[in-house]
Structure 1
Amino acid sequence: MRRITDLPKVELHVHIEGTLEPELVMKLAESSGVDLPYANADELRRRYVFTNLQSFLDIYYDNLDVLRTNHDFSRLAYEYAVRAHAGGVVHAEAFFDPQAHLIRGVALDTVVDGLVDGFARARSDCGFTADLIACFLRDRPVREALETLESLTAIDAPIIGVGLDSAELGNPASLFTEVFARAAALGLRRVAHAGEEGGPESIRQALDDLGAERIDHGIRSLDDPEMVARLVAAHIPLTVCPLSNVALQSVDELARHPLPELLAAGLHVTINSDDPAYFGGYAEDNYVLVAAAFDLDDATLADLARNSVRASFLPVDRQDEVLLDIDRWLADAHPT
């Protein structure tokens, strides 16, 4: 496990709100006077048994009530960054859900400034870097998403892109075409959750209607050979989250995860944690467990890490630095 924590990697699919550990929930609740329906962190953690995405989202949104001040968001970002860095993550393109906070009455600049501050402190302390991607909630009105994008623009929020998340079923990506067209006009990168609950049609809409440059999850692409061929030909990355897929019962057990099939098909797969506070593991835990489940060798793990770098929106020179560090990791593991 220590070897994998030394492997430099980039995390492309992590919801910063999903890194809110039960212990931090309790601390923030105490400091802000929020009453919680559970007595302690252990009791809260015992509730993390999910039957589907919605069962997770219900408790996920309830826990957000403790995030109220600039300091709360700063602490959230900082604690994730330090924890991720300890597992070998050198950079993250972190999702956040501005609407989930706006509808609670939290000001947008409170959210953004807090996250920026927390990540800046982490960069100073351990060298971890992060960029922000604002995700829109697909189960909220499209007009609200567009207004949120304009509000982010008005405060000059330092985001590099936009995404689409929350409940996939019954909330087609095609509804958000105007929002993503506006984001493209602003020069923002575009990603979207698709192919987790929904099938290949959901992925097609993310590509054709939203112009998505990465597909978050995407495991259901295997249901359609033509979609697989399209993703391979266009080098569209998939930000796969194995422990999340098991926790939300998209996959029965890790041993039956389609990761080997995705790799064998030539898809550009990356490994990520999604909502690690809820799903039992951070990025390196996902690497460790899939390595054990599928007997992946060091060369394959290095390739997965390289995929994460090349799929990122980092400048080429920064990508080259991390790729060189991955090469060194592999060379150290297998000296000639």
Structure 2
Amino acid sequence: MSLTVFFSAPFVWDEYRDLLPQKLAEAGIDADVVTEAPDPSVVDYIIYAPSAPLQDFTPFTHCKAVLGLWAGVERIVGNTTLTQPLCRMVDNSLTEGMVEWVTGHSLRHHLGMDRHIINSDRVWDPTCPPLARERKVTMLGMGALGTACAKALAALNFNVVGWSRTEKNVEGIPTFHGQDGLQTALHGADIVVTLLPKTPETENILNAEHLALLKPGAFVLNPGRGPLIDDAALLAALDSGQIGHATLDVFRIEPLPQDHPFWAHPRVTVTPHIAADTRATGAVKVLIENIRRAEAGEPLLHLVDRARGY
């Protein structure tokens, strides 16, 4: 009997229209992929993105799993109609993109590249940057993405430390946890990268108190979630010079409103949520593997813990 897979993210359907049915067939999975569900009770799997029109999962009584296309699930995890297992997207292409973005912007600030690229006054400034081993980089969030980025920066000889909400052991990266560990991890940091999920515990984790712990003139990179940073506190720290520059890829409201002060601030770089994008070629492999697992009665990959929020 053929499975019914409801692809409920119409804005990216063109990327999957041919690829998903083709790869399902190659995997030996007999499935009809539909973009409308006239009878929700016959749907076996839902492929989902948080901004999709689908918000009420109640009619999908036969659905075995909701398979996310994005790593973030904060906009769906609290949906009370969602009783089906929820899986988030973890894919090598997401990791690779994030590592490239974090490494590139870390090196940009470490080397002071802006000083040379934006030099219309033709100032001859032979100031040499410190070596990477003299820079403390704090990675807030040591999940799959944070750990990969931390290891990439450590491979470049940065002095990398990590922080996680729960205790973790990462080879070669000293990793702290808890409130006391957070202060230790942030103290004197030259660069801070935020790669935490958005939860009540992580919202505004970079507030005035924590920004003050960084080395004066430190750099902040946020490719994680917009609400991880207290915007007002960050702007104040930028104006005072406590923060030398902030490179931000995610925001509380997206697209970032045209009148938001981040756009005009000389010490802020805005990138349009491009640090890590879901590539269809990689995502399809994860989606199909989870469908195969569910049909075989095996544990699902990347199952969301509703209590933790990710």
TM over 0.5: no
Under TM normalisation by the shorter chain, which class is it? 0.3 to 0.5
Query: Whose radius of gyration is greater, 1 or 2?
Result: 2
* TM-score (norm. length: structure 2): 0.36
**Larger fraction in helix:** 1
Of the two structures, which has the highest relative contact order with CA contacts closer than 8 Å and spacing of 6 or more? 1
